[in-house]
Amino acid sequence: MATTRMELSVAADADAVWMVIGDFAAGPLRMAPERVTACETHGDTRTVAFADGTVARERLVAIDDERRRIVYAVLGDTLRPEHDNASMQVLPVEEGACTLVWIHDVLPDELADPIRSAMQDASRVITAALEGR
C-alpha cells in the first residue's frame, strides 16, 4: 500500500483550524472553497463535488476531538481505488501556528502519484483558506 504524507505549516490557531478540519459535513467546502463546489452529508457518508467535475463519496471512519484527528475512507471516485483511506490531524506548534498532517493510503500503488499531485496542488488552497487569505 502506498502512503503519501504531507505536513502543512499553517499560520492559524490549532483550535480554529480544527473547527474546519473536524467538520465532516462542511469541512471540504470551508478548507478548499476554490476546489470544492458542493458537499452533502447523509449520516456517516458525504459526497464531495470538485470544480474539475470529480465526485468523491467518503465515509467517516473516526473523529477524535481531543487529538484533533479525523479519518475518512474514499468509497469511490473516478479512479476507483481498491483501498483509499485518509487522515488529517492538527498539531499545535505555538500560539497562532499549527501543523496539519495529511496522510493518504491507497491501493493499487500506481494511484499514489496522482493522489500526491492532487494533495500538493490542494495544499496551497487549504493553507490559504485556513489562514483566512
What is the average pLDDT across 13-19? Answer: 98
Question: Residue 50 maps to which CATH number?
Answer: 3.30.530.20
Domain that holds residue 53: 2-130
Residue 46 parent element (H or E): strand 45-50
Cell numbers given for 24: 465532516
CA dihedral sign of residues 133, 50, 44, 41: positive
- Cross-strand partners of 73: 59, 85
Q: In total, how many domains does the chain have?
A: 1
Residue 15 parent element (H or E): helix 14-21
Whose grid coordinates read 493522489? 115
pLDDT tier at 103, thresholds 50, 70, 90: very high
- 41-100 pLDDT per residue, tens: 999 999 999 999 988 899 999 999 999 999 999 886 555 678 889 999 999 999 999 999
What is the average pLDDT across 110-118? Answer: 88
